[in-house]
Amino acid sequence: MSRVQGVRVLLGVSAVLAALALAGCGGDEAAVGGAAADVVPANVALYVSSNTDFEGEEWQQAEELVRKFPDGDRAIRELLATIEEEDVDFEEDVKPAFGPEVAVVVLDFAGDDPQFVGLTQPRDQQKFDELIAQGDEPAVSEEFEGWTVFSDEQASIDAFKQAAGGDTLADSDAYTEAVDGLDEGLVTVYVSGAGLQRAAEQNPTFDPASLETVLPNGEFPTMGITVGADDDGGRLDGQFVFGGDLEESGFVGEPFSAELPDELPGEVFAYVGFNNLEQQISRFRDVLADVDPNFESQLGQIEGALGVSLEEDIAPLFAGEGAFYVRRGSPLPELTLVTRVENDEQAVGTVDDLVEGLVGADVSLPPPEDTEIAGVQARQLVLEPPVTLFYAAFDGKLVLTTARDGIADLREEDDRLSDDESFTDALDQAGVPDETTGIVYVNLAEAVPLLLDYVDASGESVPPEVRANTEPLQNFVAFGTAEGDTVTFSAFLGVE
Amino acid sequence: MLRRIAALALGAVALAGCHDRPEKTPEGAALVPADTALFIAVDTRLRGPQWEELRDVLERFPSGGRAGELLLGALGAQGHDVEPALGPELDLAVLYPGPSGAVPVVLLTRPDEPDALRALLAELEEPVEAAELPDGWFALAPDRAALDGFLSAGGGESLADVGEFAEAMGDLPRSRLAAAYLDGGLLAQTFGGRPGFAEPFFAPRGGIPGWAAAALSADDGLRVDGQVSAGTAGLAFRPRLPELVPGDAVLYVGFRDLTTGARNLWRNLVEADPTLEEDLRGLEDDLGLRLAKLAPLFTGEGGVYVRPGAPLPEVTLVLSVRDAADARESLDELASGVEGALEGAVARDVEIAGVGAVELELDSAFSLFYAARDGIAAVSSARGGIAELLAPDDEPLARSEGFREAAASADAPDDVLGLLYADLEEGVPLALGYLEGSIPSELAENLLPLRSLFLYAAPESSRVRFGGFLRVE
């Protein structure tokens, strides 16, 4: 222990506490962002608050969640052992040394060695003092407005106190806007857009003008993220507050209500729903053109070779609602892309042109053949037997898929994705609203074993404990919404 | 030329005229000798209800409307009106070899318009030998020797006079597209002149069957019904395992007591090639196990099924055993033997769905899994095969709509000697996943309307009845 630095202990302990909280081992109810925000200066670059009340009601829930994984307990023990390797006992030394909340603050990202401080309200001040006193270079701490502030050097604490003379983080508009509306979490992370801006500006190669092409008003967003857990799984909610209206910027589409799941087949492993990517494709083209002066000419060469224009031909195919999904298939899973189009014939014509261009550019590709699938005239392009691409447009939908069933099953009316309980339950559990800017859904209960089977078949043996510890994973859902200058997103990992 | 004759018969099936229902005994049977080896009578009254059904079935295939055109193309008779050249019945007769050793194969028909047939024969690209018989019948053969062989075989008792033939035809459905009669002697000859070779399959039921008869009919799909004469009917069983097999199986084969047939087959194989006995001993020595010890595993009901899997479909063998512990012990011994005999093979205990199982890793990319519990032993190519069998998530095969519908469509009885079920709606796309790009797209698209196939065999008095139904949608 003699060689152990006190700061290292504190950092390790803080990291473990954060990890425990992320894993669901959190404390009782607290305001979003924690109480430390009431004393932390408004202009900090990074603020992370972990709820560490181990005696709280949620602890039991969290333990239940962890125990759903066969090796969950062991993982926690191993995590704690990383502390105890430093001759620190978690139960005896660490738990009493910290209070129900531990916060870490980075005052500024600028500089090679950013200053940070930690804040807590120790249950047992003596234990805390003993903890930070360990090592050759003990940490320093100081009382400040009812909190114990600690750091690796006094200068950081002094800087913290000096900055704290003004507004607090909890009072700042940037912070409240970033965490406003987020679900309460066990860990809250706040990243200041202004802090990022200051750090970027310190880089001599930084060109502020380049930011204007990729970020509204050329400003870094301020970010608020919470991570939480309950009996059913883990959740991450976040908010990015930009410097200008996102819809006007063209980076984010208007929220939409997904209707394609009423027409897509059920039992998908993964589904990505999106809407009107045409505007975003155009916007990103502009961004790439600004970032790389050669981009336009290179793109022009590719467009000339393929005979289609990204902006005039391809992007309009994505003007409506779209979906990309993965279903069971043999020997490979079926991958299908569906987009709503106004003119079936025109849409297929565009893909025909694109395929013709690809075939012309690659002599190993055979020309596509006509084929009929479930009464639909489709095209079949053999990429590398048995990998084949089928495409067709019907009923206002353009479909590109790797299996005949990808088209045939779209012609069915029963067992749609919107009827699939795995899908609907997962979306309900994740709290997906009626309108989003996009949805990602993965049926992990089906997809992970399949993935492991592929790994096994490739000759790489999957350890039994990997299978066992992935069995509790049920689903993953992520979605986003946008309004004005704010993008909100959530991700939920279902565990059973 | 034989191919052309067969194509002509098939073409006739698709193109010929319209009359009433066929007689139970085909008229052409009166023209062929009593010891005809194989006789197939095709109802060529195409505008009758059976052919209406067939057209309805064919139209469900993307290329179904072109079936007649394709067959005419195969005949080299595109553009010809074949219908008047055929009568209400077209028969194919395969006789036993004559003194010359040649096998006479002939087609028989009594055309509505003989001149139309004469004109058609004259226009065929490859010549067909023809002889005009009494009562307006024509005999067609690929060459003169075959035709002469047929003509010289006549004069004695005809097939129509054979009581078994008349009885077999009488028991077939009257409404049919075609009927076939196979003499048991041909079966013996087919097995290389070693009648004993076929016995293992039939011995439990009285040796090689005297005859087999089958009818093909169309009824919202294609149906086959038939019977095989057998000394004894054999032991039927009521399939229970489909109550355990996962409902998403795309292929299921059910059976019972493979040991007797396997033992007899082995005995005959060894008689034919005594060195096999030595080879088996060598294999058993390598495995450290007498294979006969595994026999008790196969005395009860068994099933093999295939489920979708990736990258390979899952294949599972499930056996109903008296004592799961004994079964597990036998499988353990086999696994241990394989582990010792096959380099790189490793057997390890695993837990699947809360049940102790064994993974027998044959190489780094392929393992077999097995377990035994509650009167069931199972061996599967996938972990999920054991899990789904021992701790099912979904409804079993026996309760799945597809299985029940297929069994009902095939009129399968409760007690059978064996059964085969294929969920073609799921199975065809599964197979196409491996074949896409390697087979013509027209073939692939014409496989998609297939929905299911159910075949069964069941005892009936001193015969074995069999049947099946291919559902098309």
- Tens digit of each residue's pLDDT (9 = 90 or more) over A378-394: 999 999 888 999 999 99
Mean pLDDT of the B38-61 span: 88
Q: Calculate how close chain A gets to B313, using CA atoms only, in Å.
A: 7
Per the prediction, chain A carries an average pLDDT of 88
Q: Calculate how close chain B gets to A120, using CA atoms only, in Å.
A: 45
Contact B247, B396 (CB under 8 A): yes
Bridging pattern class, strands A187-191 and A46-51: antiparallel
The verdict on residue A98 lying in a domain is: yes
The verdict on residue A88 lying in a domain is: yes
Domain edge (last residue) among A212, A241, A270: A241
Predicted interface score ipTM higher than 0.90: no
Q: Calculate how close chain B gets to A164, using CA atoms only, in Å.
A: 58
pLDDT at A212: 79
pLDDT at B48: 78
- Is the N-terminal amide bond of A368 cis, ω within 30° of 0? no
CA distance B29 to B22: 13
| Sign (positive or negative) of CA dihedral B399, B404, B406, B411 | positive
Q: Is the pLDDT higher at A404 or at B21?
A: A404
Choose among A383, A404, A457: nearest Cβ to B312: A457
Q: What is the DSSP string of B58-109?
A: HTTSTTGGGHHHHHHHHHT-TT---GGG--SEEEEEEPPP-TT----EEEEE
pLDDT at B66: 76
pLDDT at B284: 92
Top-ranked range on mean pLDDT: pick from A98-112, A249-263, A392-406, B144-158: A392-406
Q: Does B350 touch chain A (CB under 8 A)?
A: yes
- Residue count of chain A, please give it: 496
B306-324 pLDDT per residue, tens: 999 888 899 999 999 999 9
The amino acid that residue A223 corresponds to is M
The answer on A462 and A363 residing in a single domain is yes
Task: Round to the nearest angstrom and report the end-to-end CA distance of chain A.
Answer: 41
- Answer yes or no: is pLDDT of B327 > 90: yes
- Answer yes or no: is pLDDT of B24 > 80: no
Q: Does B17 touch chain A (CB under 8 A)?
A: no
Residue A335: phi and psi, rounded to 5, are: -110, 130
Q: Does B311 touch chain A (CB under 8 A)?
A: yes
Smallest CA–CA distance from B351 into chain A, residue: A464
- Answer yes or no: is pLDDT of B83 > 60: yes
Lowest-confidence pick of A452-461, B259-268, B328-337, B422-431:
B259-268
pLDDT at A458: 85
The verdict on residue A109 lying in a domain is: yes
The verdict on residue B371 lying in a domain is: no
Q: Calculate how close chain B gets to A421, using CA atoms only, in Å.
A: 14
Helix (H, G, I), strand (E, B) or coil at B469: strand
Interface size between A and B, measured as CB pairs under 8 A: 89
- Answer yes or no: is pLDDT of A130 > 60: yes
- Answer yes or no: is pLDDT of B204 > 60: no
Query: CB-based burial of residue A367 (10 Å sphere; 0-12 exposed, 13-18 middle, 19+ buried)?
Result: exposed
CA distance A475 to A429: 10
> pLDDT band at residue B467, thresholds of 50, 70 and 90?
very high
B344-368 pLDDT per residue, tens: 899 999 988 888 999 999 988 889 9
CA distance A25 to A17: 9
pLDDT at A478: 98
The verdict on residue B472 lying in a domain is: no
pLDDT at B103: 79
The verdict on residue B200 lying in a domain is: yes
Question: Which chain A residues touch B312 with a CB distance below 8 Å?
Answer: 330-331, 457
pLDDT at B16: 39
pLDDT at B72: 65
- Answer yes or no: is pLDDT of B267 > 90: no
Tokens 């139904």 — which residue?
Answer: B469
CA distance A434 to A336: 24
The amino acid that residue B118 corresponds to is R
DSSP symbol at B365: T
> pLDDT band at residue B212, thresholds of 50, 70 and 90?
confident
The verdict on residue B298 lying in a domain is: no
The verdict on residue A1 lying in a domain is: no
- Angle between the N-to-C axes of helices B259-272 and B195-202, in degrees from 0 to 180, rounded to the nearest 10: 170
The verdict on residue A171 lying in a domain is: yes
CA distance B393 to A329: 20
Q: Which of residues 349 through 378 in chain A touch B, CB cutoff 8 A? A: 369-374
The verdict on residue B456 lying in a domain is: no
Q: Does B170 touch chain A (CB under 8 A)?
A: no
Mean pLDDT of the A164-171 span: 90
CA distance B462 to A288: 82
B444-458 pLDDT per residue, tens: 999 999 999 999 999
Contact A100, A52 (CB under 8 A): yes
Choose among A372, A405, A467: nearest Cβ to B429: A405
Q: Does B448 touch chain A (CB under 8 A)?
A: yes
Tokens 């999106």 — which residue?
Answer: A274
- Answer yes or no: is pLDDT of A327 > 80: yes
Lowest-confidence pick of A199-213, A457-471, B32-46:
A199-213
- Answer yes or no: is pLDDT of B190 > 60: no
Q: Is the pLDDT higher at B292 or at B467?
A: B467
Q: Does A460 touch chain B (CB under 8 A)?
A: yes
The verdict on residue A140 lying in a domain is: yes
Q: Does B354 touch chain A (CB under 8 A)?
A: no
Residue B459: phi and psi, rounded to 5, are: -75, 145
- Answer yes or no: is pLDDT of B13 > 80: no
Give how many domains chain A has, as a whole number.
Answer: 2
Choose among A404, A458, A464: nearest Cβ to B444: A404
Q: Do A371 and B429 touch (CB under 8 A)?
A: no
Give how many domains chain B has, as a whole number.
Answer: 1
Q: Does B59 touch chain A (CB under 8 A)?
A: no
The answer on A172 and A300 residing in a single domain is no
Q: Is the pLDDT higher at B144 or at A348?
A: A348
Domain edge (last residue) among A241, A259, A294: A241
User: CB within 8 A of A315, min separation 6: which ones?
Assistant: A277, A278, A281, A282
pLDDT at B76: 61
Domain edge (last residue) among A241, A260, A282: A241
Structural domain boundaries, residue A485: 245-496
Q: What is the pTM of this model?
A: 0.82
Q: Do A330 and B311 touch (CB under 8 A)?
A: yes
Q: Do B384 and A449 touch (CB under 8 A)?
A: yes
- Answer yes or no: is pLDDT of A203 > 70: yes
**How far is CA B302 from its chain centroid?**
19
User: CB within 8 A of B429, min separation 6: which ones?
Assistant: A403, A404, A405, A408, B448
The answer on A294 and A159 residing in a single domain is no
Choose among A373, A382, A450: nearest Cβ to B310: A450
Of B303, B387, B185, B240, give the one whose Cα is nearest residue A452.
Answer: B387
Lowest-confidence pick of B361-365, B377-381, B403-407:
B361-365
CA distance B67 to A454: 41
Of A221, A347, A378, give the one whose Cα is nearest residue A278.
Answer: A347
The verdict on residue B44 lying in a domain is: yes
The answer on A328 and A299 residing in a single domain is yes
CA distance A229 to A493: 9
User: Which 3-state string (H, E, C) describes chain A?
Assistant: CCCCCHHHHHHHHHHHHHHHHHCCCCCCCCCCCCHHHHCCECCCCEEEEEECCCCCHHHHHHHHHHHCCCCHHHHHHHHHHHHHCCCCCHHHHHHHHCCCEEEEEECCCCCCCCCEEEEECCCCHHHHHHHHHCCCCCCEEEEECCEEEEECCHHHHHHHHHHCCCCEHHHCHHHHHHHCCCCCCCEEEEECHHHHHHHHHCCCCCCHHHHHHHCHHHCCCEEEEEEEEECCEEEEEEEEECCCCHHHHCCCCCCECCCHHHCCECCEEEEEEEECCHHHHHHHHHHHHHHCCCHHHHHHHHHHHHCCCHHHHHHHHHCCEEEEEEECCCCCCEEEEEEECCCHHHHHHHHHHHHHHHHHHCCCCCCCEEEEECCEEEEEEEEECCEEEEEEEECCEEEEECCHHHHHHHHCCCCEHHHCHHHHHHHHHHCCCCCECEEEEECHHHHHHHHHHHHHHCCCCCCHHHHHHHCCEEEEEEEEEEECCEEEEEEEEEEC
Which tokens belong to B147?
């035709």
Per the prediction, chain B carries an average pLDDT of 84
Angle at A323 between CA A322 and CA A328, to 5 degrees: 160
The answer on A208 and A64 residing in a single domain is yes
Q: Does A332 touch chain B (CB under 8 A)?
A: yes
Question: Which chain B residues touch A326 with a CB distance below 8 Å?
Answer: none
Q: What is the DSSP string of B307-336?
A: E--SSS-EEEEEEE-S-HHHHHHHHHHHHH
The answer on A455 and A317 residing in a single domain is yes
CA distance A382 to A76: 50
The verdict on residue A295 lying in a domain is: yes
The enclosing H or E element of B224 equals: strand B221-229
Of A241, A275, A279, give the one whose Cα is nearest residue A484.
Answer: A241
pLDDT at A1: 38
Choose among A331, A404, A460: nearest Cβ to B312: A331
The answer on A176 and A278 residing in a single domain is no
Residue A412: phi and psi, rounded to 5, are: -80, 165
B38 beta partners: B94, B182
Q: Is A115 left (phi over 0), alpha (psi -120 to 50) or beta?
A: beta
Which tokens belong to B421?
């079920």
Q: What percent of chain A has pLDDT over 70?
A: 92
Q: Which of B349, B362, B445 would you mutate first to test chain A, the one with the most A CBs within 10 A?
A: B445
- Answer yes or no: is pLDDT of A23 > 60: no
The verdict on residue B413 lying in a domain is: no
pLDDT at A109: 86
Lowest-confidence pick of A224-228, A412-416, B77-81, B158-162:
B77-81
- Please report, for residues A229, A378, A415, the alpha-carbon distance to residue B424 in angstroms, rounded to integers and kept in the order given: 45, 22, 18
Structural domain boundaries, residue B181: 2-229
CA distance A117 to A456: 47
The verdict on residue A490 lying in a domain is: yes
- Answer yes or no: is pLDDT of A250 > 60: yes
